[in-house]
Amino acid sequence: MIEDNGIVIAFWILSATTIACALMTAAVRELVQAVLFLALTFVGAAGIYICLSADFVAVAQILIYAGAVSVLMTFAVMLTPAADRHNSETIFQAPALVLSGLLLAVIVFVVLDTDWAISDAGAFQTTAASLGEAFLKPYVVPFEVASVLLMVAMIGAIVLTRELEEDDDA
């Protein structure tokens, strides 16, 4: 457990902000506003990561989620101008609400019922160096596979959105 007043207060403020922004993502009726609230959620989650002394993951979160993914989503909304911008729900709204409520109840029950093995190791001093070592020693194969995955995804995205020049004879 964490016994630092500042970190605990920061954690609860950030958690409240993050969950409120996530709820707003679900509630607002304008798709662009939903993307903006989602970006705020990502920033709040990065703050929570810092409270859990995960400095490298927090920076990666800001760079990739708050930076790249939010911009990508804004682009996707802007590139579909004639589509319905209303952030509405399908007929599955009520079942989805019930299902996610049930899931939350089950997880909370399990979390409170389990006797977790808590370590008293304390906060990480710094994680970047040990993460780099982990990526290049025991996890070098998954690391390379992730690189290939990113490249395949990039090529795939380009191929999917490419304008075909021989469209007229197709």
Return the residues of window 110-169 that contact other proteins according to CB under 8 A: 111-112, 116-119, 121, 123-124, 127, 130-131, 134-135, 139, 142, 146, 149-150, 152-154, 156-158, 160-161
Task: Return the residue of 1, 166, 169, 170 that touches other proteins, per CB under 8 A.
Answer: 1
Give the CA radius of gyration of the chain: 21
To other proteins, the closest distance from the beta carbon of 140 in angstroms equals 11
CB burial readout 57-88, b (16+ within 10 A) else e: bbeebbeebbeeebeebbeebeeeeeeeeebe
Contacts of the segment 38-44: beta carbons below 8 A, 24+ positions apart: 38/70, 38/73, 39/66, 39/70, 42/66, 42/69, 42/70, 44/14, 44/15, 44/17, 44/18
Contact with other proteins (CB under 8 A) among 33, 60, 140, 169: 60
> What is the nearest approach in angstroms of other proteins to the Cβ of residue 98?
10
Q: Does 170 bind other proteins (CB under 8 A)?
A: no
Please identify which residue in 13, 99, 136, 140 interacts with other proteins, judged by CB under 8 A. Answer: 99
Location of structure tokens 């899931």: 103
Residue 165 Cβ vs other proteins, minimum distance, rounded to whole Å = 14
